[in-house]
Each structure stands twice: as C-alpha cells, then as structure tokens.
Structure 1
Amino acid sequence: MEGLDALVNLQELYLSDNGIERIEGMEHNLQLNTLDLASNRIQKIENVSHLVELQEFWFNDNRMDDWKDLEELAPIKILETVYFERNPLWKDPENAGQADPNYRRKVKLALPQVRQIDATLCK
C-alpha cells in the first residue's frame, strides 16, 4: 500500500481484491471512516489502531486466523461495522466452510462498540 501519505483528508478507502499482503502506509490517513480491505491476502490486522475516526472496517475473505488481531481495533471507539466472514477464524473447525457458531459472540466480546458484524445487526 503506497502513496497514501499525502492523502491526509481521505475519508474512504476501497482496496478490495488487490492481492495486498500487509496493512501499512496509512500513518497520515487519520480522517478515514471507511476502510475496505476485503478479499486480499492479509493474515494480520495491524497498523490501524491510530485510525480513530474509523466507523467501517471490511476485512472479509482474508487470511486472519488469530482472535488477538481484533485487539488492534479495540481502541477505535466509534467503530460500528466490521466484516470478518470467510477468514480462517470465522470457520467452524468441526464443519469446514461453515461459520463457527461462536463467531459473532467472540467478535462482540472483543469489540463491544460494534453494532453490525458482517451483514447482520448486533442484538
């Protein structure tokens, strides 16, 4: 991810389906409220905790397999919507290709400020 440092007023960034392997280069994009990194090759959520204006984080169809990665998003208090479906941590270890029955609960415990997980509102 290159060339973003001069875009200090950028509010929305859509980078899905780009073969990205690592989140980086957004140190100056402090106005971002939507970040779409869906359908890439990213294994770890990193370098986003400073994006305190972020309201939507789309990260479905990546390679994240560690629940600890959600800690990177915890400081973002106004984060409302996240998409993590079809990442390895989403999958049920007992039933490949299906969602883990505890997936939504685990996301909500890690990110209590979130109001929508994938396409479903939280209760």
Structure 2
Amino acid sequence: MKRLFTISGVFMLLLLSQNTFAQEKQSEDKIDYKSDEVKRNSKEKTIILQGNVVLKTKNISLGNAERVTIDEKNNKVTIYNPKDFKILYAKTVSKTGGSNKNIIVYNTKEESITFQ
C-alpha cells in the first residue's frame, strides 16, 4: 500500500512539474520589413526605415511608406505616409486631434493603433 502511494505521488509530481517548468510562449510581435535605407541604433534600440518601406506584422501590414521608426524599447512603430495600410487585428483603434498629418502609431505590446 505504501508503494502505491509513493508511485502515485511521484506520478503527480511529474505531472505538475511539466506545467511549472514549461517555457512561456513568447508574445512578441515579429516584424518583417524591407526598405531602401535601414539605420539601426543598438544603444537606443531603434530602427529607422526610409524609402519605399514595406512592413508586415501579425496585426498590420503596409506598403510604400515614406518612413517607419521601430522603437523596441517603448514597443512602438511609427509610420509616416503609408500608401497601403491594412489592419489585420487591433485591440483598440483611435484618432487624436484634427491634425492633417498622415502618421500612424502602432503599439506592439498593447496591440493598439492611433491615427494622428
């Protein structure tokens, strides 16, 4: 009888330890991009894409933007004058004051899009 409890105790321990030690799924948004010019600043953790920028994530896609700034530290992608912008998914979409600027800010962590 003691052996049965020992075996079932070890089995339960193994069953529960799998969930405890399993790696957490990465929720980071992978960003694929292409542009005429790429400037990376490792210290500031930014990437500046200029000229015919094409960008795709799991939530947005765009083509032929003038410029895109990817701020990895603050989880923000700022898009300037995109010609073909598509929202595939967003938790929130908002528009700030009546500016005529064609700037879109995408927050990768919050999955929010702000038109400025």
**TM-score, normalised on structure 2?**
0.27
**TM-score, normalised on structure 1?**
0.26
Whose strand fraction is larger, Structure 1's or Structure 2's? 2
Higher Rg of the two aligned structures: 2
